[in-house]
């Protein structure tokens, strides 16, 4: 009996808003129909909500590639080429990897064969998608720069809270967003916020009062939080100073695309764009009070050594935010930050600092008397090179591109027709560009491998440190215990009393076995 073709489906959109006019549901439906028409069995569906410009950071694609390497499927079905990758280098790596494993890759909307023409179309389409992505970015930035250079503000989804766009029109009578004016429905809220903070209140208390009075937030919601108030106090527009190019988007490994501040030399002042809603002296007092509130919150603890796990070591098991140490009539305790509770709906809970600090330290001390756990982790880490499969795939693809270059150069040397020779030279240039980018990907992976090697060195050093301090743990004072917690990368998560476990400790790197949960044994 013939074996049924096992198919894996891969779908992707760039964001939860499905900005690229695809939907995960329609992609999956089309892929399933494609498989059903051919009598193929759908063995799995892999879905990413991720920008198309990264390859190594897409978790579901990484899982699919591992499935392909194991030959757990016979075919990968994707709706379109740009759903798999818009980068020709990354596309080449994926297709080469699948070819090596004997797995077919097919596209529902763009059926291609394995002929040289089909391979060329795949490369050209992927390259075109990459170029179009860069062109869109360049056009967007050029348009924003032109607006700023002409004294016009960049336009976001809505004007700053307290303002509205003035009724400006161009020469054809079409509405244009050139200037801001006071919005009488919300400007009073801005003035009140600055005034109350300048008078000594806190951002959290102002947010609480606005919520209780039913004042809508800038996004139209009912719940105000302290960070919204703090952000408004720092916004220069409210004193009439509109500045463009204060922020830029950067790709940060492990965090995706984030906003980072630009240097002051990049800022562009836009005079006469917005009227001041707050007098400069009021804004200055409010911002100074905001700073004092933060300082006083830190200094308000007369006995910091009562909290061994302060400073972000102990965290809320629900929202992940740092628990704060507070003195109560029962003694020092940890509780979730009020702003975190407001934003994430964490239950109101606390835990006595003396109980948690003692239990956590006892658990860590007991775990440190089992140093063989580190040796086992070192053995596991050395046996698992996280980049090996990707490096092998890249090396294979680099070899394929190099051979293609040699073949093209041989054809070029024998070609007498000038037009054909020009096409071959263009193809050679494309392969040179692809090889350069593949080699850069190889360098990036080598950096990852260096991190893996350094992790092994770090574990070796940690093993020596643990063996040296184990006999002295009972003599550690507060400062040495804090240093040990930092050295071990300890993170404590705490939940309410109705949760099991009540707390757990994770040590990073994961060199000491599973998390410490309430109590632990060496076995």
Q: What is the DSSP string of 212-232?
A: HTTPPPTTS-S---HHHHHHH
> What average pLDDT does the chain have?
80
Q: Which domains does the chain have, with CATH numbers?
A: 6-134 (3.40.50.1390), 163-295 (3.90.1750), 301-385+448-523 (no CATH)
Structure token digits, residue 424: 């071959």
pLDDT above 90: residue 372: no
In this structure, the number of other CB atoms found within 10 A of the CB of residue 481 comes to 19
Structure token digits, residue 299: 């200094």
pTM of the model: 0.39
pLDDT above 70: residue 377: no
Confidence of residue 111 (pLDDT cuts 50, 70, 90): low
Confidence of residue 523 (pLDDT cuts 50, 70, 90): very low
447 or 436, greater pLDDT: 436
Q: Which of 116-130, 200-214, 442-456 has the highest mean pLDDT?
A: 200-214
**How much is the pLDDT for 502?**
92
pLDDT above 50: residue 407: yes
Of 41-45, 106-110, 119-123, 274-278, the one with minimum mean pLDDT is 119-123
352 or 304, greater pLDDT: 352
For the chain, the straight-line distance linking the first and the last C-alpha, in angstroms and rounded, comes to: 51
Burial class (CB in 10 A: 0-12, 13-18, 19+), 172: exposed
Alpha-carbon torsion (320, 200, 198, 269), positive or negative: negative
Alpha-carbon torsion (342, 345, 349, 351), positive or negative: negative
* Portion of the chain with pLDDT greater than 90, in percent: 23
């Amino acid at each position: 009996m013939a074996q049924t073709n096992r198919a894996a489906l891969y779908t992707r959109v760039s964001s939860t808003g499905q900005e690229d006019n695809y939907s995960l549901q329609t992609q999956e439906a089309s892929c399933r129909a494609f498989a059903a028409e051919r009598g193929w069995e759908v063995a799995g569906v892999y879905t990413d909500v991720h920008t198309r410009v990264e390859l190594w950071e897409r978790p579901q694609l990484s899982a699919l590639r591992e499935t392909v390497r194991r030959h757990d499927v016979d075919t990968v079905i994707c709706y379109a080429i740009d759903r798999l990758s818009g980068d020709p280098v990354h596309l080449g790596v994926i297709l080469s990897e699948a070819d090596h494993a004997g797995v077919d890759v097919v596209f529902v909307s763009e059926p291609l064969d394995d002929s040289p023409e089909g391979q060329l179309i795949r490369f050209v389409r992927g390259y075109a998608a990459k170029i179009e992505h860069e062109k869109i970015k360049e056009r967007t930035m050029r348009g924003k720069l032109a607006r700023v250079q002409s004294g016009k503000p960049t336009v976001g989804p809505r004007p700053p809270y307290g303002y509205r766009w003035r009724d400006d029109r161009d020469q054809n009578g079409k509405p244009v967003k050139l200037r801001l004016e006071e919005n009488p429905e919300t400007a009073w809220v801005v003035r009140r916020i600055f005034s109350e903070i300048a008078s000594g209140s806190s951002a959290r208390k102002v947010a609480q009062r606005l919520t209780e009075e039913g004042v809508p937030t800038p996004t139209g919601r009912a719940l105000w939080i302290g960070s919204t108030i703090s952000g408004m106090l720092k916004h220069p527009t409210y004193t009439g100073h509109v500045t463009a190019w204060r922020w830029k988007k950067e790709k940060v490994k492990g965090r995706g695309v984030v906003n980072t501040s630009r240097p002051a030399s990049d800022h562009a002042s836009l005079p006469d764009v917005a009227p001041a809603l707050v007098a400069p002296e009021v804004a200055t007092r409010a911002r100074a009070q905001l700073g004092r509130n933060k300082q006083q919150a830190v200094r308000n603890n007369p006995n910091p050594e009562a909290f061994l796990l302060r400073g972000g070591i102990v965290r809320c098991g629900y929202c992940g935010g740092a628990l704060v140490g507070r003195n109560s009539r029962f003694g020092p305790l940890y509780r979730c930050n009020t702003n975190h509770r407001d934003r994430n709906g964490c239950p109101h809970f606390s835990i006595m600092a003396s109980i948690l600090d003692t239990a956590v330290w006892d658990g860590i001390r007991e775990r440190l008397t089992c140093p063989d756990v580190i040796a086992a982790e070192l053995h596991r880490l050395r046996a698992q090179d996280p980049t090996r499969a990707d490096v092998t795939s890249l090396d294979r693809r680099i070899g394929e591109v190099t051979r293609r270059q040699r073949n093209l150069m041989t054809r070029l040397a024998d070609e007498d027709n000038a037009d054909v020779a020009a096409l071959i030279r263009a193809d050679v240039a494309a392969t040179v560009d692809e090889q350069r980018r593949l080699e850069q990907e190889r360098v990036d992976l080598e950096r990852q491998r260096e991190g893996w090697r350094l992790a092994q060195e770090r574990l070796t050093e940690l093993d020596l440190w643990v063996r040296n301090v184990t006999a002295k743990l009972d003599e550690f004072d507060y400062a040495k215990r804090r240093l040990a917690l930092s050295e071990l990368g300890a993170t404590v998560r705490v939940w309410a009393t109705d949760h099991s476990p009540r707390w757990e400790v994770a040590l990073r790197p994961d060199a000491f076995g599973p998390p410490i949960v309430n109590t632990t044994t060496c076995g």
